[in-house]
Structure 1
Amino acid sequence: MLPLINSSRRLLRLSHLRGAHVAAHKLHAEPQNHRSLVRVEGTEASAFLQGLITNDMSHLEDGATSMYSMLLNTQGRVIFDTIVYKRNDESFLLECEQGRVNQLVRHLKMYKVRRKINIDAVDGDYRVWCVFEPDIDMKNISKVDMESLYLNPRAESEVALPLSGAVDDILVTRDPRMKYLGHRLVVPSMRNTLEDIVSGVQVGHGLFRVLRYRLGVGEGTAELPPTKSLPLEANCDYLHGVSFHKGCYIGQELTARTFHTGVVRKRYMPLIFLTDPPGPVANDSAITNEKGRVVGKVRGSDGRHGIALLRVEECLKAETLTVNNVPVQTFRPAWWPIEASKKVK
């Protein structure tokens, strides 16, 4: 197993400065068993990925340890959502859905041609964990907080965790999509828990998905159906996952045209069930307003929380919304940047 090159030591030093702040928060840790990793390494690895992903590899060259991105088909539709982790200047890990690792490897190798890179699955070597606060008060996300995050997103790329013990083999990074999703850790698979290295953490299951739903963040095949989802509808632009300044990449033309000249009328948004659904809510279930008009589709649900692809303006103006005769509500997430309102009218 190759060691991970990471910023754990610097994070440990920062934890002494912010220890009081960290201790005040209730942290949970969850293994992301539905997510796995593909390694791309070699002297041309960065240039290779630059031509395939929606984000700009220069962010990693400038010091970021991870970034959110998507891989699109030639029609500009999502085929993989990924978080790219930097191990060193010639080695990167791409996180993807566990059941689609081999598909991602084949997709990358299709474009390899004669580049001096190696592409292989390392899902047996590492596990992805997330450490987060599950009880974020969505209504109290302040404007100042939003401005600091979106005016200089990379300034918020790393924040200390109360780490202890042997952590040199662990890659630690702030979730690159937004800080409210906490941290992601790439950990050797032999470690079955984080309790020995993250002070005061509670290990659980299922709370992170609910947190994503409350924030309106989709992930994986079920929520981002391959070849059907558009990156801007999935809020890839709001989640720091697409660059509009880099060169060409597969699917770039439609994405750039929509951003610069089009209108993003539909976006992924949180869904709240006002009563308990009588049974599981199937993905693609229609969401209708008081006039019976279909204004969106469910993309995932867990109890009274869900995520849906909605017609933004119509849903925010609707008097009532229902799914399978169950009343639901939605709201514009507080973390959406201010300029969002200009794009949905």
Structure 2
Amino acid sequence: MSAVISLEERGVVEISGADATNFLHNLVTNDIAKLAPGDARFCALLAPQGKILIDFLVFAQGEGETRGYLLDCPKELELDLLRRLGMYKLRAAVSFTSKSDELAAFAVLGEARPKIPALAIARDPRSETLGWRLIAPRGTKAEDAHEDYQAARIAAGVPQGGVDFVYGDAFPHEANMDLLAGVDFTKGCYIGQEVVARTKHRNLARKRVTPYHVDGKAPAPGTKVIAGEIEIGVAGSHSGDRGLALIRLDRLADALAAGTPPTAGGAPLQFAVGRPAS
């Protein structure tokens, strides 16, 4: 059986109430109305200008008026998420509560469905290679295999907010949310929707988090990526000889066409241009 990996950097928020579905559906980038128990959605709450404030995975629980949701979110942004949800509540019959003291997020790499007690369990919607995502009671037996999860995440081209892009400064396309099942382009309005739709239809994404391979030591997060004398991006998370970097696509294309190898911290980087692996 594959290892159960504790994701201590994640928090858990519960959303409940008769208006929970409509409330969440009208706020985030993905279709919550069609989310069924046993599945998960990758979503983000955006600023009106279309930039990512917080991204998270959503699990549905129950049906009808008892239907509620568990959000697997970055723990350091949990209080900000609760505050922002409160800003949009108005008169909606909905409540939101931190559950991080009693619940935790876990990952299980591999194809087989994990056979452990969990309040929510689903395939990770961002990539088949990331296996399963669980929300289970804190204290659930887990192994110290976080590096294995990080290696799988990076190999799949899945960015981590705060490392591979800056919250409040990156658009969904820049963080590959459109490629990782994080945006529903048919669901209708949500906060920031017009900017996201315009970026897609006009092909305006100038930057993306892009996987690379390195011979030697990978650059530290925050290291500038240079082609000749031109800065083309910044390095993010890495594991072994693979990493992710937020790259200006036009500058990378110009560098490759000119035969100028991109480097970061003196190490030559080989970029995999295109859709992240699934």
Give deviations 1:103-141, integer Å, cap 9, x for gaps. 1100101111111111110011111111114xxxxxxxx
After TM superposition, the structure 1 = structure 2 runs for residues 1-345 of structure 1, keeping only pairs within 5 Å, are 27-61=2-36, 65-89=39-63, 90-133=67-110, 160-161=112-113, 163=115, 167=117, 169-193=118-142, 203-277=144-218, 281-283=220-222, 285-289=223-227, 291-312=228-249, 314-315=251-252, 318=256, 319=259, 320-332=261-273, 335=276
The AA in structure 1 aligned to 2:42 is Y
Runs of 4+ in 1 over 4 A off after TM superposition: 333-337
Normalising by structure 2, what TM-score? Answer: 0.89
CA–CA separation in structure 2 for the residues paired with 1:216 and 1:160:
22
CA contact (8 A) 2:28 2:191 kept: yes
CA–CA separation in structure 2 for the residues paired with 1:43 and 1:60:
16
1:221 is paired with a residue whose SS is: coil
Give deviations 1:152-200, integer Å, cap 9, x for gaps. xxxxxxx64252xx63x4422100112111111111113233xxxxxxx
CA contact (8 A) 1:214 1:271 kept: no
The AA in structure 1 aligned to 2:183 is V
Aligned-pair CA distance for 1:262: 3.1
The AA in structure 1 aligned to 2:109 is F
Identical aligned residues as a percent: 29
Alignment coverage as a number of residue pairs: 271
1:83 is paired with a residue whose SS is: strand
Structure 1 unmatched runs, 5+:
1-22, 134-158, 194-201, 338-345
Pick the structure with more strand per residue: 2
2:13 is paired with a residue whose SS is: strand
Shift in CA distance, 335/282, structure 1 to aligned 2, threshold 3 Å: closer
CA contact (8 A) 1:96 1:220 kept: no
2:186 is paired with a residue whose SS is: coil
Pick the structure with more helix per residue: 1
- Let me know the Cα RMSD of the aligned residues: 2.2
CA contact (8 A) 1:97 1:221 kept: no
Aligned-pair CA distance for 1:235: 0.9
Q: Which has the larger radius of gyration?
A: 1
2:89 is paired with a residue whose SS is: coil
Structure 2 unmatched runs, 5+:
none
Which stretch shifts more, 258-267 or 88-97? 258-267
